[in-house]
Chain A
């Protein structure tokens, strides 16, 4: 039967089914827990029950007596190998296993290595640690107060808990803007500590071959190459002997960017014992000890003219960093990407002050789909703009419209020094308002308010601008390593290709999306392009996947290397067609002689010739590698509208409608993009409504399992109506901007704004996340509303 195939002219904008899903849906994925090596041992971690305590002694004798226990490792053992401490991503230090003190609940104190996983856990209970509890610091205000206990007394000369004080923007210009203002609107809030909570926790299998010295570490890593370098620097092992393999990952969301003590101890144990060692983190370990997100206190004010024009912005932030400073912080932008705090608005002057403090909590800060504090910045400005609208008596949509950066202003240099690449904010907002039926909703709201029967309707907007795609290497680095990324493309003789990348999918669909980029440049269909990531021996160096950077960097590298191969292919085609290369035209997948379209060769013909029939003097093969250092960040944006109904009797709020307009530039695979957006809108709801890692006054973590740390399920998740505008990035080879984090960044403010919008007539101006029903009810009660 003849199959008539549709002639493909582009592979962009096509919802190709995810190539990786066949193996995931059939249970044929290969996760850390699936990896079993001959002779493998199992490691379990003993964690501190105290948030702050001196370790007086550790007795491991009884644990060592348990049949099947091979070793018990403590901090003292690691000191001998100079491995008791390790660097964080921001160059601070973090304990691998505690030596002097424990500084957070859940800190790693000892590890048992045993023949099976049950025995390892049984023996944990027999390790006898004598602690002397110390006063606990559970928030940054307390940490910076006079006389607070010094958490990092391991650091010579450290006499307080301050980590940094940085300023950004122009203080003088901002002061002048405020002096000219008719109105100053202020807001204060806490963006609480939450957790990325990937379905798969962290883990590794460390396999050191005592004969060859080869160190193979299968590891839940979003950045395998960077991790290899850090391992080499920390251990002093030769880097060519270290192979990091990051297999299929069950989600990351930033949680798998840092290096955790479990990886280091398992590797050290494998080195010393000479057998592979597996460590799989349990859920409690994951929630209480690994990279958390946010925990930012933000106060600020907006200077406005009476007509609504924004003149200046001031923000003060205080960050709770936990016991180690482990933000990944680009060295040129010390406030991180919080610099994007002016958002979608043309605000001429801004000044940002940020302080960080140690507390007796887990380190982290940037995980959970957050491009280095963009989430906090976006939440802050979108909440503040809504408050300003109420105070000026303007509709929140109108105030936004009045102040949007206009399309002709791009490239736009913000008051804090970012250069926005492109945008059309009003178009996205207009589309969102039209789709949600904004005017009708406001009419319904007015009617309900008049009736006053306890039914509260709220409409929340967020017109966010993100900054992703780190980065230009001259400005962005992690521990000094510039944030480029890479792609290596090999086209085999039969015209099938293999693409190797420095980034690493955790579920984002790289195997499909990046294959489509190759397809779009070379005409080789996606099913003929295999994408490989995660194995440092077999992929080019890259900084990994986080901060929505894969398509802006690795995707760009893929497009560029494919174009380079197409240039070579053109010369081979010219040779095959006996024509001059400049007389050839390209249609997707085929070169032909200009004017005689029948005279042509396919990319597959060319690939075969690259190994069999080359022009004189040309090197064989059709392969290349490109390291792409982006000229700028990319700036995805969007407008979200959330509609909520509140039961004034109980304070419960329910999402009636979510309309999301996203502009991430050109969409490669719209289905995958929409999946990312739905995931982010769900996470935004989670943060707005329920997710919280909190602590009691003794520093006990409340939120250490999924009964206390609440994640939205399908039952809580509303339907999402998704729409798009397309404003290509002018500097990205195919106009993409990255989308992984847009909805997580943009949506929390939309949900909270919706609840606050419903409560606005009662002069309730803020409820910190998570906005739980009891907080809504207490707020109403404080204003004498409700029963």
Chain B
């Protein structure tokens, strides 16, 4: 497994990184954790001319709460999320997802933002961010812009990013006081990509659902929201009937393909089972009756 030749740049500032990216465009690749990019290069499925390593840029590793939510910088490792008490207390879907991502070695280096930018429909973070309604912040030669997560994923391994843009952080909105969530993942073994993953986020208000977010992994060309299930839950009471109905609607939102991980029917069924289980777990944690 020997990659093709490439040039390696370790810029010290974001500006420097952006100018390198502007120079190489499509032929430049941004390196953060490298847990997707490096294997692709070793298999020669990817052969970028230039590798722009963000790891020496200061300030990109922030995992902090600030006005209006949680900021996850481009160099925040999944391991940091796994260890974060803040996430366990306030951003439960993220906290539950983190330890289920790949294996400990990948989590030590792999970043949340890198996973989003890779836009793998089997990626876990995308579904979680869809469920919690995150925004992606990107910088390019044209300046900074914010992209709502549901507009970010354009297709398998394709995002709304321009070739000269770098995602600097992802921001998760404040979930409010009575909120919770979880992530359920079916994998064939630790380290495998998801057969199916379901991210659930609930915020409650007076015993009713204020906002429900459901993101699905590996059952569509991109991570997708189960919009109809979310809409059916909004304003509803959480009970067996509403949860089952939402789970059925979520299964309908899935467009899985049959493969070695299972048939389309099986995957759709898992979406339903996991949505139901996830909503029950989240409802209980958020303090629904």
Contact = CB atoms under 8 A, between A and B. Distances in A.
B64 interface: no
A642 B269 CA distance: 28
A611 interface: no
Pick from B4, B5, B188 the residue with the most CB of A within 10 Å: B188
Contacts of B191: 713, 715
A774 B103 contact: no
A712 interface: yes
Interface string A92-124: 000000000000000000000000011001100
B9 interface: no
Contacts of B277: 649
Main DSSP-derived SS at the A contact region: loop
A772 B2 contact: no
B149 interface: no
A690 B191 CA distance: 13
B262 A710 contact: no
B193 interface: yes
Given A772-B262, A773-B262, A774-B262, A707 B193 contact: yes
B49 to A, nearest CB: 14
Given A649-B273, A777-B269, A710 B190 contact: no
B134 to A, nearest CB: 27
A761 B59 CA distance: 60
A650 interface: yes
Interface residues of B, number: 25
B186 A777 contact: no
Interface residues of A, number: 31
B24 interface: no
Contacts of B263: 774, 778
Q: Is the interface of B mostly helix, strand, loop or mixed?
A: loop
Contacts of A270: none
A652 B2 CA distance: 37
A125 B103 CA distance: 33
Interface string B181-204: 000001011111101000000000
Interface string B4-19: 1100000000000000
Contacts of B261: 772, 774
Interface in B237-289: 260-263, 266, 269-270, 272-273, 277
A419 B21 CA distance: 73
A430 interface: no
A23 B44 CA distance: 34
B190 A715 contact: yes
Interface in B103-137: 103
B239 to A, nearest CB: 19
B4 A122 contact: yes
Contact of A777 (B188, B266, B272): B266
B186 A787 contact: no
Nearest to A706: B191
A702 interface: yes
Nearest to B267: A774
B188 A778 contact: no
Contacts of A713: 103, 189-191
Given A117-B2, A774-B262, A787-B272, 14 more contacts: A118-B2, A122-B5, A282-B1, A284-B1, A284-B43, A692-B260, A694-B260, A707-B193, A708-B260, A710-B188, A713-B190, A715-B189, A715-B191, A787-B273
Closest 6 CB pairs of A and B: A774-B262, A715-B190, A121-B2, A774-B266, A649-B273, A710-B189
9 contacts: A651-B266, A690-B188, A694-B260, A715-B190, A716-B189, A773-B188, A774-B261, A777-B266, A778-B263
